Each structure stands twice: as structure tokens, then as C-alpha cells.
Amino acid sequence: MLKNSVLFCLLSVFLFGCKSSSEKGIATVCLTHEEIKLSEMMVGVPGSIQRLGDGLLIMDLKSDSVLHYVDLKEKKYVGKFGAVGQGPDEFIHLGRLHPAQGKAVYGYDMSKLEMKVMTPDSSGIRIEKVRFDSSDRWAFDVIPYGQNRFVANGCFGDSMFAILDSLGNQVDLAGEYPYKDESEKTISAQNRALAYQGILRVTPKGRLAFATSMSKMLFLYGIQEDRLIQRKVIIDSYGEYKPDTSGGEGSYSVVHNGNLPYCYNDLSVTEDRIYALYSGRTYKEYGLAEFECAYIYVYDWEGNQQALYELDIPLLCFCVDEQARCIYGMANHPDPVLVRFPLP
């Protein structure tokens, strides 16, 4: 019996890469990557990645074109799309890419205050403007949801989240930017909004997740009949920052403590799970490599941690394809490469 138990433990380590050490009693599962070699693709700085049709759409933060498209079925690089500029199919400051059940990808340009939808076609990617009229410069990210409704993260008075209509009118507001004590509470909502920026995701059934980058926080909401209902807030750490007034009256900026770890850099959600890409690196020690994340926290929508994945190569951005049972991501190796992790 003892011999069989030892053999089972050894097989578990070999097949799944489990470590016995964990937090909250959750075993850490080590995932090993495989590189998807695409010799023609050259990405400057990967910012976001999502499944689209038979392939992957990758956002580039440092290129003359914002988007790259990869055909996974044919295993080839299709090309780059979406030039930087003021034109109707061009971008200035595109935020996160948001999936629409694999059939389309949405993105909000916060400089042009425009919502774009990207769909695959015979030439590669078609880019169209979504009817959404807004003049709100404090909307950091906007995601279409339902009929003529949009979910946004930003600074809406004292609120973190909003449901907007197609004219940009506020239908509902929810959430208050956090503060750890009375001193932080006196900081303006605009500066706290900048200090607690993060990643917003919404599922087709109206589940909302928001994870902060400069502190370890996770906010879970539900959308019911144009109302945002708070389900759970998990606060593991607060930010340390100072408002920067060097820009003069009417300008807002904050300076973070570079000795503290960078936290969540990306989110991927399904109707059952929340996958949060976590760094834990500090700017003081790693510089810009603090954005490279070697951990993925997995939660259910009740806020219970289900798993912790440790990646053998850190990622800048990722998406989870539960149907294919894998994770796709972009990593520096040392230049940006596309990688795939099979899910256990």
C-alpha cells in the first residue's frame, strides 16, 4: 500500500507539476509552455490578446499598426491591421481587447472616445465603429453589453463603474474607490481612480470582474436589469502612492511606491471562473520587467480561490480558451513570442 501511495505521488508531480507549498491550502500547479513559432510576426510591446474566429488577435503598444492576427487553424501569421492615426479605422489609445464569444473582439479608444469592433473576413480583420457617443474623458475602459448598453470603468463622480446607454448617458453607477484609512479617504476621487486602475471584464450573462494593478484587489459584480450589484470584494493589499500636483490646477496624477509589488496585469473570465494574471515583482528590482507575470490566480464567482498556476515563462498578457483546454499568451523570450500552456 505504501509503495502504491509513493508511486501515485510521483506520477502526480510528473504529470501536473504540483507543489505542496501553497497559500490558503491551494496547491500550486506548474504549467509548461510550448512556443507557437511564427517567423513573420514581429510584435513591439504586447498589450492584450483574445481569441477571434479561428485565430488570435494581439494588440501591440509599440508599432505603426495596433493589431496582429494569427490563424491558429492554418498556423500562420495573417498580418497587421489598425494603423495609428485619426482615420475612421485607425487608433490612438486602444485599451484592452474584449472577446464577444469568439465571433468578434471589442476595443475602446479612450483618446478618440470611440468603440471599435473587430471581426474576421477574407482579407484578415474588418474594423468598424460601434454606435457609442460619449464625451466622458474619465471612462478608462468601456465594454458593450446587451442591447444598447455598455459597462464602463472610470471615475464617475465618486463611482468606479457605470452602465451607459449608446449616447453615453449614465444608467447606473456602483462602487467607491477604496481607501485604507481616513487619510487616504481625503484624497480626491480622481487621484484614487488613477491609483486603483485595473482590468475590467464582463461575461455574456452579466458577471463583472475588476482587478487592480498597483494593489491586490478583486471586485465582483452582477448585472441585473440595468443595475450593478456588488457580489464580493477581495482586498489583500492597498496601494501606496502620492498625488502629483506638478501638472498644475485641474490636472491629476499619482506616483506609486516602486518598492511594492505590481499585482494583476490581465484578466480572463468565463461564466464559471476568473483567471487573474499576477506579477508580484517590484519596479525597483525589475524595472519594466515588473509587468511580466509568472502566476495565474483562479477564482470562482463567489470569490473563492480554486487554483494557483505557476508559469515556467512569465506572460505580459493572456487569454484562456476553456474549450481547447489551454492558455494563450505573449511572453518576452527575449523578444515577444506567442506561447501556449495546456490546462491541467
Q: What is the pLDDT of residues 125-137, one digit of tens each?
A: 999 999 999 888 9
Q: Which three cell numbers stand for residue 335?
A: 523578444
pLDDT at 22 over 80: no
**Mean per-residue pLDDT of the chain:** 91
List pLDDT tens digits, range 82-93.
999 988 889 999
Higher pLDDT, 71 or 6: 71
pLDDT at 276 over 80: yes
Is the preceding peptide bond at 99 cis, omega within 30 degrees of 0? no
Cross-sheet strand order for the sheet of 217-224? 198-202, 207-212, 217-224, 227-235
List pLDDT tens digits, range 278-320.
999 999 999 999 999 999 999 999 999 999 999 999 999 999 9
List pLDDT tens digits, range 189-241.
999 999 999 999 999 999 999 999 999 999 999 999 999 999 999 999 999 99
CA 39, 40, 45, 46 dihedral sign is negative
pLDDT band at 14 (very low <50, low <70, confident <90, very high): very low
Identify whether the C-beta of residue 10 lies closer than 8 Å to the C-beta of residue 16.
no
pLDDT at 149 over 50: yes
pLDDT at 12 over 50: no
Strands 159-165 and 170-176: antiparallel
List pLDDT tens digits, range 104-123.
999 999 999 999 999 999 88
On whether the pTM is more than 0.85, the answer is yes
Residues 322-333 have a mean pLDDT of 95
Higher pLDDT, 65 or 2: 65
Q: How far are the Cα atoms of 95, 175, 303, 322 from residue 268, in angstroms, in the given order? A: 15, 21, 15, 11
Q: Is 60 exposed, middle or buried (0-12, 13-18, 19+ CB in 10 A)?
A: buried
Q: How far are the Cα atoms of 97, 102, 141, 161 from residue 150, in angstroms, in the given order? A: 15, 19, 10, 11
Q: Which three cell numbers stand for residue 94?
A: 486602444
Residues, the chain, total? 344
> How many alpha carbons fall within 13 Å on the CB side of residue 34?
6
